[in-house]
Structure 1
Amino acid sequence: MPRSHCYCLSGYIIYFSLLIHTLASPPLHLCLHDQRDALLEFKDEFPIDELDPVPWNKITSTDCCFWKGVTCDDKSGQVISLNLHDTNLNGSLKANSSLFRLQHLRHLNLTGCSLQGEIPSSLGNLSRLTLVDLSQNDLVGEIPSSISNLKRLRYVNLGANELSGEIPFSVGNLNQLRYLILAANMLTGEIPSSLGNLSRLLDLRLSINNLVGQVPAFIGNLTELQVVSLGQNKLNGSVPKSFANLTKLYHISLRSNYLTSTLPFDMSGFHNLEHFDVGNNSFLGSFPKSLFLIPSLQVVNLEDNQFTGTIDFVNTSTSLPNLDYLNLGSNRFHGPIPESISRFLNLGELDLSLNNFTGTIPRSISKLANLDVLDLSDNKLQGQVPGSLWRLTTMTLSRNCFSSFEKPNPSEETLIQALDLNSNSFRGPLPHWFCKIQWLSFLDLSNNLFNGSIPPCLSNSIVSFTCLILRNNSFSGLLPDIFSNATELRSLDVSRNKLEGNLPRSLISCVSLRLVSVESNRIKGQFPSWLGSLPSLHVLILRSNDFYGPLDESVGFESLRVIDLSHNDFTGTLQPHSFSSWRGMTTVREEDDPYMADIINYSTFYRNSMVLVIKGVETSFERIQQDFRAVDISGNRIYGKIPESLCLLKELRLLNLSGNAFTSDIPRSLANLTKLETLDLSSNNLSGQIPQELGELSFLSYMNFSHNLLRGHVPRSTQFQSQRCSSFSDNSGLYGLEEICGETHVLDPTSQQQPEELAESEEPMFNWIAAAVAYGPGVFCGLVIGHIFFNSRYYKLVGEKKLKVTSSAR
């Protein structure tokens, strides 16, 4: 969970509690001189924040008890609280800081203050402290063992820093402690047994660290515990049976560990439980029916385990009115989705993806009036999609066997914003009522059996689209000219259909476009150089169409990273400056991807991937990184020299110029492409020698120079010696192939006979196409669909619970 959401309320709760305390008991005395002097020295340890209109260390009164964040005892005048939460101190706490002269300090809140460095052991000198909050800073080093000197401590929050080392054993001496929050650090080692002494502990949060070992059984003896959060560590083994003693728990998170075994058979004893998260472990066994007998439940996450069998929500008349989030995804559940799902009257998000559910969507799901997000992807569901589901905002039904859908209920408002129906059996023309969906932003209909034309009426709703994915259907006719108002559109993929005509000129209005793929259609026209003015276009796939004419106008395209123009009918020569404006292939900078931070609350099944076609066999390579750069103009009729401007594309990983009519020498400047991994120059009319400098390209793992007029010695380097013999075939003037082809396969330059290995298919051995496309349309849309756990609804629940926890810290 991101740190800003885990801990952002702590400082504010403390602040307002202190403020109420201050207003209720106004100081009767001026603060003491020694206290004032200590505060003045402390403020001088940090620079004034010029951006803060009322900096904490700007003196506004002669009485330090009225300074920002300072609270004094109303009788003695001693400073008892310093609350500087979210103040930009931008410095470190020194071991001899004057802060540690405030010996009567009870509350110290420096959360979110940009503190750096280590926590000084001098903190242990403030023996009257009952509350310490140093969370959301950049503190490093170990937790000082001197913290055990603070015998009065009730609340400790050091979360969301970069603290390392083990949890000090001496923490177990703080027998007044109620709240121990060390989450989101880099702590190692096992959970110390001394924590079993903290019999008054209400809240234990050690999540998002590198803790190892088993979940200790002693935690079950801390019977006052209300919150246990141990998620995202490296804990193993089983959940101790002693956890059954924790009947006051309302929040338990063990997610993302290596926990095994089964859950307790009877969990109904956790009668206060609201949040239960054991996702991303290896739990076994059947569906935990008893868990769903707890009326207080709000969040249940069992995703990514090995639960098996059918699911049964217990056939009773009792509903669970508070359950808001249910995730059973990525398990081995099977059978039908039970009609009893309707018991969860307040359910807002339901994820049953990546299981083996069969049958149809139960009609009772229409009773879930608050359902907002539904993910049923990757199952074996079939039949019709109920019309009642169009009132959801996010629906993911991909990779099932659905064949049709009902029209939306005219009495209900259609609210769908993200709709993923890819890889099903939908067929026939696209219903025209799709054009009436007002808020649709993400639409994926790929890998179905849709046919007919793409309805021009989509122009009514495309104004809100960020992603339109119609890949791999049988749509025919023209790609309609509907994009004049699609200024938010980021990804357009209509690949592998039967579309024809020209690319619609209205695409020039799509100023947010990152990806355009029209691969494997019948689209014609000259190279759309006008797309070069789109400021953010990263991927352009025109592969396998009927484009024709020269490429000498390929200027612009400053953000381009991947371009595939292969298997068209482009002709002419490439000008020396052809690639000089493609700045997106010259550098990789973090700021190149500002849209990646613009993730709205959807989750994706699109993965960064591409497909390589090697000797006619498609092989998918997933998770291609965002720094991937590729140029493929193979299978055209381009001739002349390979332009030297290619050497400017320093981030290029793949270059395919095969199947053209390039002549002259291979430019030595290609050796400047130091990140090149794939180079295919086969089936051209290239002459001269293979540049020896190419042997120094340490990342070059695949190359093909076959079917040219090359001569001379093949470079002797590891990269060249590891290639297949066929990569050099049909170049009668090449020699030095003994180590690559073997002695018996070395050609006699005067012989017309070819060894069998060298006489392989005339097709280029290496081609590539995008499958989802290169980076994945979901990434370019800034969308994720399904698997929504850390989303706004989840944060709201955790945030409210955080309020409940910290407000009682005093």
Structure 2
Amino acid sequence: MIQSHCYCLSGIVITIYFCLLIHALASPTLHFCRHDQREALLEFRDEFPSSEFYASPWNKSSDRCHWKGVTCDDRYGQVISLDLTEAFLNGSLKANSSLFRLRYLRYLNLNMCELQGEIPSSLGNLSRLTLVDLSDNHLIGEIPASIGYLNNLRELILDMNNLIGKIPSSIEKLSSLTNLELSHNHLIGEIPASIGYLNNLRELILEYNNLIGKIPSSIGNLSSLTNLELSNNHLIGEIPTSIGNLSSLTDLSLSANLLVGEVPASIGNLNGLRVMDLSDNSLSGDFHILFANLTKLTDFDISFNKFTSTLPSDMSGFHNLESFDVSENSFVGPFPKSFFSIPSLQSLRLGENQFTGPIQLGNTSLSSFELQDLDLSYNRFDGPIPEYICEFINLASLYLDHNDFTGSIPRSISKLVKLESLYISNNKFTGELPHFIWENVTIFFIDILDLSSNSFRGPFPHWICKIIFLELLDLSNNFFNGLIPSCLRNNMVYLKELSLSNNSFSGVFPDIFVNATHLVSLDVSRNQLEGKFPKSLINCKALQLVNVESNNIKDKFPSWLGSLPLLRVLSLRSNDFYGPLYHPPKSIGFQSLRVIDVSHNDLTGTLPPHYFSSWHEMTTNSELVTPGNDYMEDVYDIFPFIFYRSIEMVVKGVDMRHVPEPTPQQHEELLEEEEHMFSWVAAAIAYVLGVFCGFVIGYILASDIQEWFTEKFGRRKLRVTTTAC
């Protein structure tokens, strides 16, 4: 009996033992990492000895599966995920990297790791990968064809690198792929038609490359696609009708390509679209058919195209619309007040079309509207600015320039407490600038104030001195008079462009530039200023243009300006400068100078030959002048939405004044009509020998000067992409 009890007890113990053993083997958690995986990880770390990653807390004494960025399979201890985002590896992936011994890896994220070199073809050996993110590094070379071996891959993210070559055809084998992001590289060739085989693809992002050819119609097979971004390439031809088959599409961006023809009406069937950007092409078509059914849109941009139509009279169904941009087309008709039935609208850009008539908003209450950006520039709007403009209390940018607006600035504009940029130039406004406009103190955070080319009169508005964050001030081409106040020095900390030209300012030119370290362009030409040339300009190390022509300034030639490293244009003509062009000890200066005009002064002495031997910028071959080597490239970067300064020059006795030009499209039309006006051979320097004796020198080819004045001093507008400078 006792023996039977012992047998029974032994059986129970054995059963319990086996149960515990089975439970341990089936346990979902193991607290160790396989030896080969540990060694591979440590060796991978050692491949980057100069990186912050090398000093990471990875060490032999701790469990590798708990290292930061490492995830292991709970059952077998295999490394299945490596996420080293922003680890700053500062090196390259070698073909024999220990990384490729992690054969069970499913998730590889080396985003923003300062990786260099090429993507090794060995990556194709990690066949279990479902995500590869090598974005935002410095990778070069081609995308390896071996990427096609990753048949489990769902996300391939290689954007923000320096990759070259074509999109490998082997990508067509990645049948599980949902995201393909190759943007911001230097890829060439055509978009492979075989991309249409990727039936599971949801995001296809190829923007900012050098892709050519037509958009393949096979893209219309990607029925799961929600995001198609092909902007900023060199794609040609028409938009394929098959894009209308992408019923799941929410984001469509084809901007900044070379697309032509009519936009297919089938796009109007994509009623799930939220973002549509076809800007910067040569597209046309029936706007009403294209737009009518896209009632879920939040952002719509067809700017810089060839659309001709009126805008819809009823916008009541577009409850989600936040941004609407049709600028640089040929739309006609009256002010489209229908848009002010959309309280969610934040940006309305109608600039550079052919709209006419006064601004009439009807009886709609505007106080609840979110409008922040209103661009009506370069149209034919007329009449006064309505008082109820103040109801757009969130307005930050107001572009009314280049129209036929009349009257004075309404008092209500003082209530736009969030206003940052105000463009009302080239209209027919009259009268003085009343102080009440700026009675609200918050308006002094405005950074751009352009009132040029109107008929404003009266003294310099002193309240401008209180706008301490001002970056651009343009009062040119008006009838202002009196003194330029010394309080203007308060604006100099942030000011980049100051133009007071072609007014009737008089008195001493105040020496107010001690803190103007950001000033790029100074133009006070065609006034009646007197006294000395302001020596505080020596502090303006960013200065590129100085134009004080046609005043009464009496001083020695300011040879000390030669120490300004970026000075490209210097016009002192028609003043009372006297003495020699340089003062001992002579210094070779003006290293960046391209144009100098000192004619019609009282200069004496001999021509300083060392100037001419050092003015290398004047001998630049016109073929070498590229968009990246512009005369005023820094100004363009600072103010991409506005014009560039005018200047008057004397070339071989001919007095020529070059004023701010229209946009590139309008300028091309003017060039066709008046090309003969720019057929002069060289820019010049004039030097007076004796009393009023001129001497003209220069070696700037006609194409340099024409390109400079027409493109760099012409008003040029760019499309804003939010993104944002």
The answer to whether the superposition gives a TM-score over 0.5 is yes
Name the residue aligned to 1:179.
203
Name the residue aligned to 1:118.
142
**Residue 272 (str. 1) matches residue 304 (str. 2):** no
**Residue 134 (str. 1) matches residue 158 (str. 2):** yes
Name the residue aligned to 2:604.
571
Q: How does 1:579-618 map to 2 (within 5 A)?
A: 579=612, 596=634, 599-600=637-638, 603-606=641-644, 616=654, 618=656
Give the counterpart letter for 2:106 in structure 1. I
**Residue 339 (str. 1) matches residue 386 (str. 2):** no
Instruction: Name which of 431, 434, 439 aligns with 2:464.
Output: 434
Gaps of at least 5 residues in structure 2 are 1-27, 79-103, 668-680
Q: How does 1:281-680 map to 2 (within 5 A)?
A: 281-291=305-315, 293-314=317-338, 319-339=341-361, 343=366, 345-389=369-413, 391=417, 392-404=419-431, 405-407=433-435, 408-414=437-443, 415-553=445-583, 555=587, 557-561=589-593, 562-577=595-610, 579=612, 596=634, 599-600=637-638, 603-606=641-644, 616=654, 618=656, 620=658, 632-637=685-690, 659-660=694-695, 677=699
Give the counterpart letter for 1:537 in structure 2. L
SS in 2 for 1:314: helix
Distance in 1 of aligned mates of 2:139 and 2:266:
39
Give the counterpart letter for 1:596 in structure 2. D
Distance in 1 of aligned mates of 2:523 and 2:166:
51
- Contact 1:453–1:478 under 8 Å retained in 2: yes
Distance in 2 of aligned mates of 1:266 and 1:338:
26
- Contact 1:108–1:133 under 8 Å retained in 2: yes
Identify which range, 220-229 or 577-586, moves more after superposition.
Answer: 577-586
**Closer/same/farther in 2, CA of residues 426 and 524 from structure 1, 3 Å limit:** same
Give the counterpart letter for 2:720 in structure 1. F
- Contact 2:244–2:269 under 8 Å retained in 1: yes
Name the residue aligned to 2:282.
258
Name the residue aligned to 1:53.
52
- Contact 2:447–2:471 under 8 Å retained in 1: yes
Name the residue aligned to 1:795.
723
Name the residue aligned to 2:212.
188
How far is the alpha carbon of 1:534 from its aligned partner?
4.0
How far is the alpha carbon of 1:612 from its aligned partner?
6.1
Instruction: Name which of 164, 172, 188 aligns with 1:164.
Output: 188
- Contact 1:375–1:786 under 8 Å retained in 2: no
How far is the alpha carbon of 1:458 from its aligned partner?
2.3
SS in 1 for 2:163: strand
Q: Summarize deviations over 1:772-792 as a string: whole Å, max 9, x none.
A: 89965x9xxxxxx9946436x
Q: Summarize deviations over 1:617-672 as a string: whole Å, max 9, x none.
A: 63749799xxx99661334429xxxxxxxxxxxxxxxxxx9835x9xxxxxxx9xx
Aligned CA RMSD, in angstroms, stands at 4.0
**Closer/same/farther in 2, CA of residues 232 and 75 from structure 1, 3 Å limit:** farther
Identify which range, 460-469 or 373-382, moves more after superposition.
Answer: 460-469
**Residue 84 (str. 1) matches residue 114 (str. 2):** no
Give the counterpart letter for 1:396 in structure 2. Y
**Closer/same/farther in 2, CA of residues 306 and 70 from structure 1, 3 Å limit:** farther
Distance in 1 of aligned mates of 2:600 and 2:447:
36
Q: Summarize deviations over 1:565-607 as a string: whole Å, max 9, x none.
A: 1111111223554556667668899899998299457622126
- Contact 2:650–2:686 under 8 Å retained in 1: no
Instruction: Name which of 230, 235, 239 aligns with 1:206.
Output: 230
Distance in 2 of aligned mates of 1:321 and 1:79:
50
- Contact 1:537–1:557 under 8 Å retained in 2: no
Distance in 2 of aligned mates of 1:236 and 1:194:
19
Give the counterpart letter for 2:111 in structure 1. H
SS in 1 for 2:211: strand
Distance in 2 of aligned mates of 1:460 and 1:220:
57
How far is the alpha carbon of 1:412 from its aligned partner?
4.5
SS in 1 for 2:407: strand
How far is the alpha carbon of 1:106 from its aligned partner?
0.7
How far is the alpha carbon of 1:58 from its aligned partner?
10
**Closer/same/farther in 2, CA of residues 530 and 351 from structure 1, 3 Å limit:** same
Higher relative contact order (CA 8 A, sep 6+): 1
**Closer/same/farther in 2, CA of residues 429 and 228 from structure 1, 3 Å limit:** same
**Closer/same/farther in 2, CA of residues 616 and 400 from structure 1, 3 Å limit:** same
- Contact 1:287–1:310 under 8 Å retained in 2: no
How far is the alpha carbon of 1:320 from its aligned partner?
2.4
Distance in 1 of aligned mates of 2:269 and 2:426:
43
How far is the alpha carbon of 1:192 from its aligned partner?
1.6
SS in 2 for 1:522: coil
Distance in 1 of aligned mates of 2:290 and 2:564:
60
Name the residue aligned to 2:119.
93
Distance in 1 of aligned mates of 2:706 and 2:253:
45
Identify which range, 510-519 or 374-383, moves more after superposition.
Answer: 510-519
How far is the alpha carbon of 1:531 from its aligned partner?
3.3
> TM-score if structure 2 supplies the norm length?
0.78
- Contact 2:559–2:582 under 8 Å retained in 1: no
Q: Summarize deviations over 1:713-752 as a string: whole Å, max 9, x none.
A: xxxxxxxxxxxxxxxxxxxxxxxxxxxxxxxxxxxxxxxx
How far is the alpha carbon of 1:159 from its aligned partner?
1.1
SS in 2 for 1:165: coil
Gaps of at least 5 residues in structure 1 are 1-25, 639-656, 663-669, 671-675, 679-698, 703-767, 779-784, 799-810
Distance in 2 of aligned mates of 1:173 and 1:546:
76
- Contact 2:618–2:699 under 8 Å retained in 1: no
- Contact 2:347–2:371 under 8 Å retained in 1: yes
How far is the alpha carbon of 1:137 from its aligned partner?
1.2
SS in 1 for 2:531: strand
- Contact 1:73–1:79 under 8 Å retained in 2: no
Identity of aligned residues (%): 44
How far is the alpha carbon of 1:459 from its aligned partner?
3.2
Give the counterpart letter for 2:119 in structure 1. L
How far is the alpha carbon of 1:491 from its aligned partner?
2.3
